[in-house]
Chains A and B, each alone.
Chain A
Amino acid sequence: MRVRHARLPSVGLTVSRGQLMAGLFLFTSTSGLLPRVINSVASEGWNGAIFITFNTSIIVWGAWASACYLALSADDHDRVRPLDIAIACVTFVIAALPMAHFSWLALSLFSSYVYLTSPRKSPLQRSATIFFAICVPMFWGPAMLALAAPLLLKIDAFLVATLIGAERTGNVVNFVGSGPGIQIWAACSSFHNISHAALAWVALTQILERDLGVKDLFWCGLAIILAASVNLARLTMLVQWPEYFDTIHGPLGHQIAGSLTIILVAFVCIFGQRRELFARA
């Protein structure tokens, strides 16, 4: 089949629609992730940064790799439309601004556009879905948490206090027995785990080229509940055993909780889509 390319007049580049979209997906997402990599290496050194997966969840890295693969394997035969060029220019300008937040904002807008203008279930549309889902834990989730912190952190505190029968005031849960308590900050919130679990589910459905159905609500919901439960269990242990606060709250507790979350989420995602997954294998 003959490949129809559009010539971009200003730079003299010949690109197809698929190449333009893939290039911008790579640029916007990498410009959001790279500052985290650079800053984690600068603060922790290479070994430490690799150990904490560059301050970014391994679920995000996996979703990003699969979205990039889909974008690069997209159909290369479509012609660039004038609107594509206009949207690409706006996306590039927003993503080039000197704050990583703008990369995620640009990626959200661009992936929405690609999703709406690409053929149904095409690799480009599936890639756009994953890229948009990545923006949730990387940008929209933390932004929502910053704006609605009092309510969301109180929900976490309420659940911990109810589970263990401890006293609570706002987002502060008193230690069991006597003494002060823990203050739940945004970084400790279970809402982070929720967006990561949902991202893992969405990424796998798109890789497997599946249509979303009612059963997805069940399995994705289960992944979310398990991911949030691990975090709630960790918070509850902090309140129950304050003498082990440093161990549970420190890097060791963080790594154990993080690894357990990933194992549980991966298990639910694989088990929930085992038929499609093993049919492909």
Chain B
Amino acid sequence: MTESSSTEVTVSASKFLQSLFQEELRDQTKHDPEVVSLVKQHLCQGSLHTRAGARLADALIQLGKARAKESGR
């Protein structure tokens, strides 16, 4: 290409997500690391399960329950 306007625009979704998780979402002072880990585990895969969103919600609810139980002791 000889045009200077040919900006680097084609990106890979998985690379984009990986970079988000490795950089911005890695900050534990801003983001709950357990929640980040669950989101990454469910949504940052090569092939997503058709019910990945619902499964993530279940996992987050379980996390909330576990934390409630733990702090209730």
Q: Do A and B bind each other?
A: no
Chain A residues engaging chain B, CB cutoff 8 angstroms: none
Chain B residues engaging chain A, CB cutoff 8 angstroms: none
